[in-house]
Structure 1
């Protein structure tokens, strides 16, 4: 399957409502498909879901997306409600980007335990499974290693079905294979070395190979980005 290229633009700081609306409308006028906001707590980034709701209201065709929400900051039941509401109010223009969280500094500043990478990936995988259930099922029960959901009913459903487009960002083998199994889009992180970012072709080729291996027949329908 040949997918058309899409171009998104990342922004994060909204000094005022007027400035933020201007940014969103300008992105739409320039032909970008999606306006994306990261989820950072220490660098003056606006609250993603609130800012995205304003951007969606100010535009008509522009998709809005998180790039990416840290799974450790939100329980999946709360996130499902907020994401489905944003998709409903934007008439199907929200794209949900998720990650396991990589900034130990931010966790430490907030007093949140920074679990091992393996634990954070496990939680993200369970969270995505719960989100999909809440987006599609009327009654949800889930028992995992990290989350337990009992008789959740009456949850808001997104406009986009069977569920919201889910983007997962990752750089390591385990994260990329999780993304290959569960996501619609994958943001492939670059390798970070002691000398900075190493965007070598060999590294990227290896990451794509991991994705292909885990995705199987799904690979043809996956959207890849950096």
Structure 2
């Protein structure tokens, strides 16, 4: 949904929940069913090597336990899997769930994952180049017929991806970005564009938080709008943001002050940032609208 000042057409809200792990398989399934029962549209899981479930089996468990809930990673790191492997896994999940998969994919940013796995943490431009090729491979393999690709990072030879996903030509793609290049790419290629903080440092720290202000988000949305308008895709795109700081409370001011002190920012930043939702139910609804 958007107001009259937004460059994007008004669309209904979709709400999602970011999940990470549970104490048991039964608890994971119950969590998924509760999310579905509460009316959420999609459940997502990150893709890191820390204390979280592996996304592919965890997402399939969510899809198998529900009937309407959509699911996807927010987002898969392109560097962790060959795109042919990921395309096959995602297409299989889409078939097994009767078409409820969303494809979240990115270039990778969390430096500790790379260090712990002994993987090269290439400069951002290289990771983005590789991600662009990876997305092209996934899209190509989900299309009808054999697919070939010759890139700097991936080579595919006459591979007819199987199975083909239920959603055609492929499940919706979500690309999140904090910088102009990825935001522009998302506007041209993605169905869902996620607005993120800028994560060049490889960690969530002061640099990233400084790019999560209201003004910064307005600037990022403008980049997406300009690129989408040029590409003739303004009507197609769904905008996405993940709210990291959520508190349903009758004492908004006190909670805003506590959050700002914890993060080390001015209370106004928390109060105005789209990455935070604080207040009672009516205040939060007003903020969203």
TM (norm. structure 2) is: 0.75
Q: Unpaired runs of 5+ in structure 1?
A: none
Q: Residue 53 of structure 2 is aligned with which of 46, 52, 74? A: 46
Name the counterpart of 1:24: 32
Instruction: Specify whether residues 71 and 212 from structure 1 end up closer, same or farther in structure 2 by C-alpha distance, changes over 3 A only.
Output: same
**Higher relative contact order, chain-length normalized (CA < 8 Å, sep 6+):** 1
**Aligned equivalent of 2:233:** 218
**Aligned 1:4-153 pairs, distance under 5 A:** 4-42=12-50, 44-153=51-160
Whether 1:194 aligns to 2:206 is yes
Residues 163-202 of structure 1 mapped to structure 2, 5 A cutoff = 163-191=170-198, 194=206, 197-198=209-210, 199-202=212-215
Q: Give the alignment's TM-score, normalised by structure 1.
A: 0.95
The answer to which structure has the higher strand fraction is: 1
In structure 2, the gaps of 5 or more residues are: 1-8, 200-204, 242-289
Structure whose CA Rg is larger: 2
Report the secondary structure of 1:105's partner residue: helix
Shift of 1:191: 4.1
Number of aligned residue pairs: give it: 225
What is the root-mean-square deviation of aligned Cα atoms in Å?
Answer: 1.4
CA distance, structure 2, for counterparts of residue 95 and residue 222 of structure 1: 14
Quote the Cα distance in structure 2 between the aligned partners of 1:35 and 1:154. Answer: 26
User: For residues 175 and 207 of structure 2, what CA distance do their matches in structure 1 show?
Assistant: 26
Which 4+ runs in 1 deviate beyond 4 A?
A: none
Q: Deviations over 1:68-106 (max 9, x none)?
A: 110000111001000000000011001110111111111
Give the match for residue 206 of structure 1: 219
Greater mean deviation of Cα atoms: 185-194 or 56-65 = 185-194
